[in-house]
Structures are given as structure tokens and as C-alpha cells.
Amino acid sequence: MISGLFVRAQDLESLYARLRDSPSEAIVSALESSDVYTRELALAQIARENRSPELTRVAAEAVATMSQPEVKAQLIAVLAERGDTSVLPFVRKALTDQDLAVRVAAAETCGVLKDVKAADALFEMLAGEQGEVASEALRRIPGQAIDVRLLKILRDSESTCRVVAADLLAARRYKGLFHALLDKRLFESGDVALAKAVAGAIRIYAPDDSFPLILAFTLSLPESSAELLVGTLSATLGAAADKPACVRRIAQALATCEAARAPILTALLAASQDNESLRLLSLRLESDDLEVRKDAVRNLGKWNNEIALTPLVLFAKRERDAGAQTLAWRAVIDIVNRPDKVVDYYQPVSAIQQAVWHASRREEKLAALYALSHYHPKSWEVEWLLTKIETELPEMAADAQSVKASLVPPFSGLLGR
């Protein structure tokens, strides 16, 4: 039938017909054939072609006697495709097979067929080389007992599978997980991977009204761990029904917390993007502490619209520390380079003018100047300001001319006459 690497189509069709009409024992016996085509066609019969209960029984019983590990693994895999749970007692025994591929196939099939009785063996596999496939199988198998066992592993400081347990509980959508994860010990264990896994699961399960609870929990954690929950706090703040109340909580915490905790809170104010947060951050620009002022500048620079420009420009013009002043002008430039949400075009153009005239470094002056093109032709002041720069600031005349040349529609020159 076989000549070299080629097999005639009619030979395959003949072989397929013979296997299709063969008794179950003959189909399973064909799995031991030295001919790869015979084995593949026999596997196809077991997987989907022949749905008889008799073939299910014979194939399942053959798992224990199959001599070739790779064929045994294939047989177990195709038994999963039949979807018949009667094969599980035979597959479950293969979880302790000497061959890794067989154990992996058995674990996958127990997961696909949701074999609750395989849970003990799968838990034992979690810490081994087939831990990933065991984890996936446990994810598929329903039952509160598995959740309880995973929670026990998560809380066991001696367990090496705590990260797996956290990920599995999240993947299984365990309903009580959110409150179970608000446990300081999970963040204070020294296991960075565990802390990250728990933080990720908290973010998945955080209810929309949980901002106050998560904020209080975050502020009770070590600083390095608290940072892991900033994204969750931002997300729950954005989803909060009473956002003003949440901002008030941030303000209260900011007034009493240690200085090292403040950046988390000011980052949340920036994430809220509301007027009260703008006011609170603007007040921090008046602090005697240089680091507080710089932190406020960085967060005001995250604003998506023009309302943060006024406090930033005023600060940049009065600030005496060169580093903080430069930081403020860079924040102004960052905002004017995000024109999509600008409503009042006069404000960014005015801020650009202030930067060009008052920034101490040429780098910020040029960056502000080239941002003007974002506002043409939306603001008539663009052409006026370019002409003013060219006339009054000779050292920047060539750059103003370059911006003019790039304008679309072209610079008209009418406002400068």
C-alpha cells in the first residue's frame, strides 16, 4: 500500500472503509499498528467517527494496556473529544503514569470532562513539572471543595503554590475572593510574585463601590506593596457612583498621611481629573517643601485638558528652584501637546506664549513654539503669536518661520499686517 513517502488516495479510502466497518476491538487494536496512517485513522474513529458506547468502553479499557506511551497519550486525548464521562475511571489512573506525556494528557482530559474525583491527584501535580496543565484542569472542574482547598493553599505561608492558588481562584471566579484577598499577610510575605498576583486578582474582583475599602487597605500596606494597588484604586475611583465623596476621602488621607504615602494619593487626584482635585493639587504648589511642589507639578501635567494650565504657568513664573521651574514648563508643554480635549483654545495658545517668553531654557521655548501648530486654524491667535515672536524675539525668528511653513492651511499673514 505504501511506496516511499506517497500513499494513494484510494488506499487511504480503502483503509478508512475497513476501519469504519470493523468491530470496536479491531479499531482499538489498530492503534498498535506500525503504520502511522492506520493509527491516525483509528484515532479519528475513536475521536469522532464512531460514537458507539461499545467503542467508548473498549477504548477506555485499552488505556491501561496500551504499550506505547505516545499512543496512550493520543488515545487519552481523543477520549476527551468523545465527551463521555464513563471513561474517567480509566483516565484518572493514568494521572500517575510513569510517562510525562501520558500524565499531561490524562490531566487535560480530566479537566475537559470536569472530573471532580481527579482533584486530589491534580492538586498533587500543581507543584511539579506538569503544574500548568494541572492548574488548567482544576480551573475547569466545578465545586466549592476545590475553592476551599485553594483558599487554604493561599493562606499557607509554607506553600509553594500560593501564586497558582491566587490565579486559579480568580480564573474560577470565586465569589468570596475579593474580601479574602484584602489580607496584609499576602503582601507582607516577601513573595513579590504573590503580591502581584493578589493585586491583579483584587483589580478583577473590586466592586464599583469598593474605593474607600481599597484605599484604607492600601494605606495600611508597606509602600512597595501599596504601589501595586494604584491601578485598582484609579479604576474603582473612575467607576465610583459618588466620585466627589471619594475625592474627599483622598483629601482627608492626604492631610494626615506620612510624606512617603502622598504620591499615591496625589496620583489618584490626577486620575480623577475633576475640579476639586485640581484645586487640591494647586494648593500643594504653594508648599514650603520642594518635593511636594514637584509632585504636584508632575500630577497637574497629567491633565487631559486646558484647565491645569493656569496654575502651572503661574507656578513656573514665580518658582525660584530651577529644576521645579523646568518641570512646570515641561508639564505645560505636555498638556498643550494633547489638544484633543481642549475646549478653550485661547488658554493653550496663551500658555505657549508664556513659555516662549519666560522659560529659562531654549529647549522648552522651542517645544512650546512647535506646539502652536496643533491650534491652527482653530485659534486666530496662532498667526498673531507667530508674527509677534518673529518680530520681538530675533533669536527665535527662524524657528517661528519654520512653524509658519508647516501650517495647514498655510499661514495667511493677514493678522500680522
**Run means of pLDDT, 10 residues per run, the chain, 417 residues:** 46 78 88 87 88 93 92 94 94 95 96 97 92 96 96 94 95 92 93 93 92 96 91 94 95 94 96 96 98 98 96 98 98 97 95 98 98 94 95 96 94 63
- pLDDT at position 19: 81
In a domain? residue 110: yes
Which residues, 6+ apart, have CB-to-CB distance to 10 below 8 Å? none
Residue 328 lies in a domain: yes
Final residue in a domain of this structure, among 49, 83, 114: 114
Which CATH number goes with the domain that contains 83? 1.25.10.10
d(CA 236, CA 413): 50
Q: Is residue 73 part of a domain?
A: yes
Task: Determine the pLDDT at residue 6.
Answer: 45
The residues, ordered by sequence, that sit 6+ positions from 142 with a Cβ below 8 Å of its Cβ are: 114, 116
Rg of the chain, C-alpha, whole Å = 34
Residue where one domain finishes, among candidates 95, 114, 133: 114
Amino acid at 5: L
Which burial class, exposed, middle or buried, applies to 224 when counting CB atoms under 10 A from its CB (0-12, 13-18, 19+)?
exposed
Is 311 within the bounds of a domain?
yes
Burial of 235 (0-12, 13-18, 19+ CB in 10 A): middle
- pLDDT confidence of residue 2: 38
User: Which pLDDT belongs to residue 10?
Assistant: 61
What is the predicted pLDDT for the residue at 5? 39
Domain boundary among 88, 114, 140: 114
Cross-strand pairs, 6: 3
pLDDT value of residue 317: 97
User: Are 69 and 76 spatial neighbours (Cβ–Cβ below 8 Å)?
Assistant: no
SS3 label, residue 299: helix
288 in a structural domain: no
What distance lies between CA 97 and its chain's CA centroid?
Answer: 37
What pTM was computed for the model?
0.76
Q: How far is CA 337 from CA 65, 233, 331, 365, in A?
A: 71, 27, 10, 14
Specify if 197 maps to a domain: no
| Structure-block grid coordinates of residue 303 | 491633565
Pick from 327, 267, 354: nearest CA to 303: 267
Compute the distance between CA of residue 324 and CA of residue 326 in angstroms, rounded to an integer. 5
**What's residue 414's pLDDT?**
62
Looking at residue 244, its pLDDT comes to 95
3-state secondary structure of 386: helix
- 344 inside domain: yes
Per-position b or e across 182-215, b if 16+ CB within 10 A of its CB? beeebbeeebeebbebbbbbbbebbeeebbeebb
Domain that holds residue 85: 1-114
**296: in domain:** no
Into how many domains does the chain fold? 2
